[in-house]
Structure 1
């Protein structure tokens, strides 16, 4: 009879593997899971193309700005001004990574809880997998490219290579350190009174940041950030200071990666309180809507606004850019860029695979005595409502210090919100119909599509909405409120026609059956 330990046996102190062996096993498991996810990609050739494009853009961002006129010049130039802001930019990267990881409950999942349940996937493997997936995010990529380009442009020519090495190390360290903070917050959130504690901490941090901004000490505080030490090491060039900076960042990264396993194990032993409360909460019945569309809208609205990842995501998307605009004292004409950013991020929460919200319930919904167009219209209206509310919150928060807008600025801003909302809703539903994925969005760490697909979706959304926002930003400088309205009409007509075409394709029973069978799998 075999005497080996089974998966349900309690390991004895003598049988328990050492920490080094456990860490080695976790690294091997991450490689296996990553290969599993890679082989599950439907269009592998597209993934290879995206990888090559990512590498090309990264190399271009690190090298091309150094060749531009004015790069690396000294006092009184744009390059010198950017160099002075680099310590604050490095600190901002760390803060943004922390906010993103905290909002997702510790980072993205390499494998979902339901898929990993039958397998001995350790919390350390989960932690390392989240680190691997962190760069597969268009927000992370864009801020990394901007930082690499800023360093390349601002540093003298003989300091660029060393400075870029330090910048890459800082990106890796900030991602690893943010993961530690995120897992620690998630462990606290899952503990006794954890939700109240985390919300109190967030309120205190927001109040503290507001007090610093109002008191006028923000600039003085940013001048004292510890990242100045690394920037000075980059400016010194190939000296002992640069070598010390590299060594410090490398050691700190290894420590952060190892340290992240501690709160990850602590969080894994605790129940996700937010998700459990949402799934077991009771809601008093309300009067029945008079129309079938009203019933479907209420059902979809409840499934979205009562979902933990949606509520966390919309909070970060709506309040975060608004606070940045508030701290930067943006004018109304400059805030037209924000609705496109928020709408793109909101669609990435669930809109790019909108029918996955139903899951197995899609089979039940298809049996309802309701026309197919009613199902499509309800999902379209709820998604548009979700994006519009998030954009309005961002604009309201960002405009607290901007004063009263003029008529043409207000018209440009409202037209921007309307156009990007219709534009993003149309694109999201079109992709949801063409490329559905079976995803369970109960977890705060889940994404509506595989990482490679999410990168493609986010890049396309960011490109289109940024172009639209810049178009209306130009209209906001023309003192005539009719101009943005005239510009918005053809944009709405084009997006509306494409949305109507997607609605028409949804009525095809074969197409609808393919989507339902996929999301219900």
Structure 2
């Protein structure tokens, strides 16, 4: 007889208990409640308001309508990328805390589905689909069209979860990592070659999403909605099979890191940095690149926008926005709670005979290196695709790049010393902070960097060469002061002890 954790009813009951537990552990419940209301209100606004917009040229509406099938397919690709990068999906409860609880793979599968909307990229893409649908359909037939789109969003998320668990299961086989890397690279090259050859439009027209887009606003939407609902139930049920398989296998990449034997590396030769700072930076670099989640996340965040910039031929106005979004994504890997990267090792790190300033400076430098790496690759890809920009655009691009990196770095280090969390980042499914907090962090970072990028986009169109550096000086001054305050707080012994005890409790 199967236990209750192996049945769908038992998994749903466990999920309800876990959701209740996580909701009661939120540090600021009022802020979480207000944020939830704002998200719901924004969703309703995006789904309704564009239908009553007037004065839009007919050719623009035709372009939007023609791009809708590709946007529907893009949402599925986004979900697949997120589930693959997260090892099957985010976890409701950290692995070490879940050991003493009878949480089965079906509960893990349902929890990953429930947590999918807490991804800012998922939410922005869903809002874009709702707004595009409302704009193309208009007031008549809007309700049926949005019901179909919402069901497609749920179906795409569930189908992406099936792919994510399957990929994670293959990764945990003997040669699975090589297989997944080879298949992913081949798929990326095929999409890039199709875009360069101009054949992706033909592919988009042949996708089932083209028929789905044609049915929006039509009289047969109840039939389409019923079909999608059946597919949603099937996809959710199908996801339980690879989830059981994947979670029943040992995580080879993580175990290789934890059980591997590493030869002692020579101490770095101090050049521009002091001996203690150089040694601490080497330790921090090793912590980042040995982590499966960090390594996988940095590669995905750098390669994804780069492929888009190469394949789609983004203009420099759009490329100017990418460094900020890339830096924000890199900070969300661990930078918003930078000290959690050490975990229990924080107590050992604090026992080393080095100045506290060297610890903070080393962590700041390594975090900055990650931000520069992830935000710089799309810029280089844009240069390869578009050629060298004009002088004014180049000045604005360099200024914007430096500003967003320092801006995100100052914000992340400030959050790290003021709101530390105890988490275990050894699992690629883990997040450096609770999911509600991560959603707030993502929203604020994306908003700040997008506004900053748009400001420099405007400065790039003004023929005044010193305008971008002048803006950059103001931003860097403010970010420098914020980073200095964060460093001062870390140097305070009681605050540093509180951070160390908090993160080491995980």
Q: TM-score surpassing 0.5?
A: yes
Correspondence 1:352 to 2:336: yes
Match of 2:112 in 1: 130
- Which of residues 26, 41, 48 in structure 1 aligns to 2:26? 41
Decide whether the 8 Å contact of 1:97 with 1:175 is kept in 2. Answer: yes
Q: Deviations over 1:255-304 (max 9, x none)?
A: 00000010011111211122122223344433313410111111011101
Distance 2:100 2:14 in 1: 14
Decide whether the 8 Å contact of 2:309 with 2:319 is kept in 1. Answer: yes
Correspondence 1:371 to 2:355: yes
Match of 1:29 in 2: 14
Alpha-carbon distance, 1:45 to partner: 1.0
Q: Which moved more, 1:397-406 or 1:303-312?
A: 397-406
Alignment of 1:184-223 (within 5 A): 184-223=166-205
Match of 1:151 in 2: 133
Q: Deviations over 1:461-516 (max 9, x none)?
A: 01100011111112222345433222211111110011111111111111111111
Alpha-carbon distance, 1:389 to partner: 0.8
Correspondence 1:465 to 2:449: yes
Decide whether the 8 Å contact of 2:337 with 2:421 is kept in 1. Answer: yes
Correspondence 1:180 to 2:162: yes
Q: Which moved more, 1:510-519 or 1:284-293?
A: 284-293
Decide whether the 8 Å contact of 1:83 with 1:155 is kept in 2. Answer: no
Q: Deviations over 1:48-103 (max 9, x none)?
A: 111111111111111111122247x8xx3423321221111100000011001100
Distance 2:38 2:478 in 1: 29
Match of 1:245 in 2: 224
Distance 2:188 2:71 in 1: 20
Decide whether the 8 Å contact of 1:362 with 1:516 is kept in 2. Answer: yes
Match of 1:440 in 2: 424
Choose between structure 1 and 2: higher helix proportion.
Answer: 2
Q: Which moved more, 1:293-302 or 1:483-492?
A: 483-492
Decide whether the 8 Å contact of 2:192 with 2:307 is kept in 1. Answer: no
Change (3 A) 1:284 1:477: farther
Distance 1:247 1:176 in 2: 16
Decide whether the 8 Å contact of 1:430 with 1:502 is kept in 2. Answer: yes
Q: Which moved more, 1:196-205 or 1:364-373?
A: 364-373
Distance 2:196 2:31 in 1: 49
SS at structure 1 position matched to 2:343: coil
Q: TM-score w.r.t. structure 2 length?
A: 0.96
Q: Which moved more, 1:113-122 or 1:77-86?
A: 77-86
Alpha-carbon distance, 1:432 to partner: 1.0
Decide whether the 8 Å contact of 1:409 with 1:481 is kept in 2. Answer: no
Distance 2:429 2:77 in 1: 19
Q: TM-score w.r.t. structure 1 length?
A: 0.93
Decide whether the 8 Å contact of 1:275 with 1:308 is kept in 2. Answer: yes
Q: Which moved more, 1:203-212 or 1:383-392?
A: 203-212
Alpha-carbon distance, 1:234 to partner: 1.3
Match of 1:9 in 2: none
Correspondence 1:329 to 2:313: yes
Match of 1:396 in 2: 380
Alignment of 1:275-286 (within 5 A): 275-286=254-265
Change (3 A) 1:429 1:413: same
Decide whether the 8 Å contact of 1:343 with 1:388 is kept in 2. Answer: yes
Correspondence 1:408 to 2:392: yes
SS at structure 2 position matched to 1:235: coil
- Which of residues 243, 250, 254 in structure 2 aligns to 1:271? 250
Match of 1:16 in 2: 2
Alpha-carbon distance, 1:333 to partner: 3.3
SS at structure 2 position matched to 1:478: coil
- Which of residues 394, 402, 405 in structure 2 aligns to 1:418? 402
Distance 1:101 1:394 in 2: 22
Match of 1:58 in 2: 43
- Which of residues 439, 442, 465 in structure 2 aligns to 1:455? 439
Alpha-carbon distance, 1:18 to partner: 9.0
Q: Deviations over 1:405-443 (max 9, x none)?
A: 223222222211111111001111111111111000000
User: What do you get for the CA RMSD once the two structures are aligned?
Assistant: 1.6
Decide whether the 8 Å contact of 1:348 with 1:448 is kept in 2. Answer: yes
